[in-house]
Amino acid sequence: MTSVIHWEAERDAHVERVRQWTDPVKERRSSGTRHPVLDFLFTYYSHRPSKLRRWHPGPGVVLTGPAAREYLRWPVYREVPDGVTLGPLPESRKETVLFVRRLLTATAARTPWFGCFGLHEWAMVYRSDEVRHQGWPLRLGAAATDEVVESMPVRCTHFDAFRFFTEPARPLNTLQPTRDTQVALEQPGCLHAGMDLYKWAYKLDPFVPSSLVADCFQLAHDIRVMDMRASPYDLRSLGYAPVRIETAPGRAEYRRGQAEFTERARPLRERLIALCETLTG
């Protein structure tokens, strides 16, 4: 156990850090406005802004001082001679931790693959009269967007992206991912696998240090911006210059971004795997 005396300063620094993301979404919700890029981080991902702001030290840390007792409102915390600390992982949480460990370990062991070029967003509007982001035009128009999908191999390995493909787009994918094949197919070059590190981090809450949750959120935020810049939507009025994956230079730009995000995700994935190993013994 490590005793932390000045933990309140660390807590306050965490809150200040994440407010750059939680304050804008709170303001948008109060005004009834939507953001096609950033709201995804609080709608598709179920961790509420209030939970992202909440600070937890993670396992093996003893919070000292009178204020530490506030953590006893959560049953997973307990008093020890020096202060307050997390108790052992409840038996009901072990299955989730084991799955996260299995998925992330399998993903980390694979060679990253960078040949998808973000076509999943294009496949989600392929031959459809409806778009996921109402009010935002397709940069090339519907017909030309369909032509891009038909002119390039569609190689999505991520089930939670593939499941939003339109019905006509599904047969075009070289793989047919399912929930059951998730562990067998996820690979570290996938932008969605990188974004999902945030999901796996908050699924372990509060048994994960909030600094790691925030680091994963930062990565998810940056990947989401890249993901939507490469999408078929015209988001230039929001300040997002398109990554024109329908062109060779655009595909090269996308591949470079994918490689950079893969490297950023690697240590976060390793930290989450190590945490899962600690939690399950």
pLDDT tens, position by position, 147-173: 999 999 999 999 999 999 999 999 999
CB atoms within 10 A of CB 80: 13
pTM over 0.85: yes
Residue with token string 């967003």: 121
- pLDDT score for 281: 79
pLDDT at residue 200, rounded to an integer: 98
- Per-residue pLDDT tens digits for 15-24: 999 999 999 9
123-132, 208-217, 260-269: which range is least confident on average?
A: 123-132
Instruction: Give residue 255's domain range.
Output: 2-280
Percent of the chain with pLDDT over 90: 94
pLDDT at residue 51 is higher than 80: yes
Total domains in the chain come to 1
Q: What are the backbone dihedrals phi and psi of residue 5, each rounded to the nearest 5 degrees, phi first?
A: -85, -45
Q: Are 235 and 204 in contact (CB under 8 A)?
A: no
Identify which of 115, 60, 101, 105 has the alpha carbon closest to the alpha carbon of residue 83: 60
How high is the mean pLDDT of the chain? 95
Q: Measuring CA to CA, which residue among 37, 102, 76, 30 is closest to residue 233?
A: 37
Q: Give the pLDDT confidence of 171-197 residue by residue, as tens digits.
A: 999 999 999 999 999 999 999 999 999
CA-to-CA distance for 281 and 275, rounded, in angstroms? 10
Query: How high is the pLDDT of residue 131?
Result: 75
What confidence tens digit (pLDDT) does each residue in 109-120 have?
999 999 899 999
